[in-house]
Chains A and B, each alone.
Chain A
């Protein structure tokens, strides 16, 4: 009985010491991070989908738009830029891979943009400085 009690006490002491050491390790890791954050406090962090933000003004009262791209949109690649576009343009619903009356196009090159426009019979309405395009269906 006494031996068990002694074992528990030693164990508790060891756990407490380990917890204190781990806390010190944590704060040792955190301190340089906190200093770094304070130094870069004024630096603006990039807004998710910032490249699509100016398109929103041109799409007022639109409910749904097609989203066409030649980039990797697999789940493993976190759906590429698509989710950023969806976040920036919400509450407009973006329909990935489908054409609608109005469409958003994001491509890796101008050639790819032209190819998508021709393939889906679309006419570009507006291209922003990041190459993000609003295109409408040719009737």
Chain B
């Protein structure tokens, strides 16, 4: 029960922040706001936990809870009239919901229950789950002032340079719950897995027919390999959530041209930087493309400067935490050395490229994915022209750009055998891209009908 309270507090903070940003406009549906609020709230709680750890030098649950309650009360006091109207609006909307909406809700509850059941196969998560993220949570909770030892080179085996958002979120959730340390990451993984499915549904529903949006979400949430990887207690599911949330806010911005959506995009991109190193790369590619798009628009129409500022300020405010973390706390990652003259790259050749291509093809047709990637590839090939349309080109360029970065990182592999690295990491890359790829593909294929 107390654990539910920490989720509720985080979600409420997330919801009220979205309300504060979007104001009285209806650019985001209530369902989508709820789905976004959970991830946004948990992310902000994780950041607060990290800043508290730095500020106090150790874990202080009392201060952390007090800080959350203070933020919540401040939001309520500042925006009380608007909040009152919003909640009256929500109650009215719940009363007006159709049979389909209740059906969708039951489907999500049932699917999340299935995910929970299947997660029980590995209650301590996958190897990286307990060896990296959960171990760091233990250090934060129990290490006192020595929690910073996770950044020392003694901890080289647990990737001391990895951003800490998931561990910080689990640490925050443990502030309330008087339960075992092992249960929280298990529950967080199930909650994030279900909410990513819900986000896909509520997000797609803004662009395509709701029945098709529901089918896309069921296709993902019912995928055996998605369930396995999302409940492995890795930070990948958090990254998948924020990438999808960023995609959604960008797509909604293209639809409504509202600068407030740039602010929301900046926040999600910023949060992405503190999930994993890959999150930094993904967010940099997206922010670069988005800025380029806005600059081109600014040249044609002067009012877009405000949009660029909103995007940049929100992104910089959160990414600054990751930048400080990387610059002042963690050692350099010894496994990523790009184009150094004194390093001999064993795989920077045609053989390396063929190895990557082969590993990608193996993943693409592997039955563990229940052939979902074959469908995605077929959708792309059969309507390739639409992917390079003016309204879709940004997302297509993003995927192509990220593929390029991944290939370069693999080709410059040192300290590992490339085949081994591909076997263990490529499937995880495909996993955190899956929700965004599905969103993009279904939007491209079905949005025309919906709009007409």
- CB-CB < 8 A to B372: which residues of A? 22
B216 touches which one: A19, A25, A26 (CB < 8 A)? A19
If A26-B219, A93-B149, A95-B154 touch, whether A41 touches B120 (CB-CB below 8 Å) is yes
- Is the CB–CB distance between B219 and A19 below 8 Å? yes
Report the Cα distance A79→B224, complex, angstroms: 28
Please encode chain A, from 1 to 35, with 1 for each CB lying within 8 Å of some chain B CB and 0 for all others.
Answer: 00000001001100110111011011101100110
Residues of B within 8 A of A30 (CB): 114, 118, 222, 224, 227
Q: How far is the CA of A89 from the CA of B122 in the complex (A)?
A: 20
Q: Please report the total number of A residues contacting B with Cβ < 8 Å.
A: 39
Number of A-B contacts (CB under 8 A): 116
How close is A71's CB to chain B, nearest CB, in angstroms? Answer: 14
Instruction: Check if B379 is an interface residue, CB within 8 A of chain A.
Output: yes
Q: Is there a chain A Cβ closer than 8 Å to B253's Cβ?
A: no
| B81 contacts chain A at the CB level, 8 A cutoff | no
Q: Considering the chains assembled together, what is the distance between the CA atoms of A89 and B212 in angstroms? A: 49
What size tier do the contact residues of chain B reach?
A: 35 or more
Q: A87 contacts B146, CB within 8 Å?
A: no
Q: Cβ of A76: which chain B residues have Cβ within 8 Å of it?
A: 416-417, 420
Chain B: CB-nearest residue to A36: B121
Partner of A83, one of B138, B157, B222, B379: B157
Please give, as numbers and ranges, the residues of chain A lying within 8 Å of B144 by CB-CB distance: 91
Residues of B within 8 A of A26 (CB): 219, 222-224, 370
Cβ contacts B197-227/A at 8 Å (1 or 0 each):
0000000000000001001101100111001
Q: What residue in chain B is nearest A20 (Cβ atoms)?
A: B215
Within 8 A of A (CB), among B374-400: 375, 378-379, 382-383
User: How distant is A106 from chain B, measured CB to nearest CB, in Å?
Assistant: 15
Does B25 belong to the interface (CB within 8 Å)? no
Q: Which residues of B contact A18 (CB under 8 A)?
A: 375, 378
B80 CB to nearest A CB, Å: 43
Q: Which residues of A contact B375 (CB under 8 A)?
A: 15, 18-19, 22
Task: Say whether A91 contacts B139, CB under 8 Å.
Answer: yes
Question: How far, in angstroms, from A57 to B103 measured CA to CA in the complex?
Answer: 52
Task: Tell me the bound Cα distance from A136 to B439 in angstroms.
Answer: 58
The digit string for B388-424, where 1 denotes a CB below 8 A from any CB of A, is 0000000000000000000000000001110010000
Give residues 253-282 of B contacting A (CB, 8 Å): none
The residues of B that contact A121 with a CB separation of less than 8 Å are: none
Q: How far is the CB of A100 from chain B (nearest CB, A)?
A: 11
Query: For residue A86, which residues in chain B have a CB less than 8 angstroms away from its CB?
Result: 131, 135, 157-158
Closest-by-CB residue of B relative to A83 is B131
Q: Shortest CB–CB separation between residue A82 and chain B, in angstroms?
A: 7
Contacts of A64 in B (CB 8 A): 154
Indicate whether A37 reaches chain B with its CB closer than 8 angstroms. Answer: yes
Best-buried of B121, B155, B157, B420 by chain A (most CB within 10 Å)? B157
**Complex CA–CA separation, A128 to B97 (angstroms):** 61
Q: B123 at interface (Cβ–Cβ under 8 A)?
A: yes
Is B143 among interface residues, defined by CB-CB distance under 8 A? yes
Q: Does A139 contact B (CB under 8 A)?
A: no
Contact A87 B222 (CB under 8 A): no
A118 within 8 A of B: no
Instruction: Report which of B131, B379, B416 forms a contact with A87, defined as CB distance below 8 A.
Output: B131
Nearest CB in chain A to that of B227: its residue: A30
Query: Is B448 on the interface with A (CB-CB < 8 A)?
Result: yes
Name the contact of A8 in the complex, choosing from B135, B154, B448 (C-beta under 8 A): B448
Complex Cα gap A18–B445 (Å): 14
CA distance A76 to B118 in the complex (A): 27
The 5 closest A-B pairs by CB, nearest first: A91-B143, A90-B138, A83-B131, A26-B222, A26-B370
9 more A-B contacts (CB under 8 A) besides A26-B219, A29-B370, A79-B157? Answer: A8-B383, A18-B378, A19-B375, A22-B375, A23-B218, A30-B114, A45-B123, A45-B124, A83-B158
Point out residues on B near A: beta carbons under 8 Å.
114, 117-118, 120-124, 127, 130-131, 134-135, 138-139, 142-144, 146-147, 149, 152, 154-155, 157-158, 182, 212, 215-216, 218-219, 222-224, 227, 370-372, 375, 378-379, 382-383, 415-417, 420, 445-446, 448-449
A-B CB contact pairs (8 Å), 17 listed: A8-B448, A11-B445, A15-B378, A19-B215, A19-B216, A22-B375, A23-B215, A25-B370, A29-B370, A34-B118, A37-B117, A37-B121, A75-B157, A87-B130, A93-B146, A93-B149, A93-B154
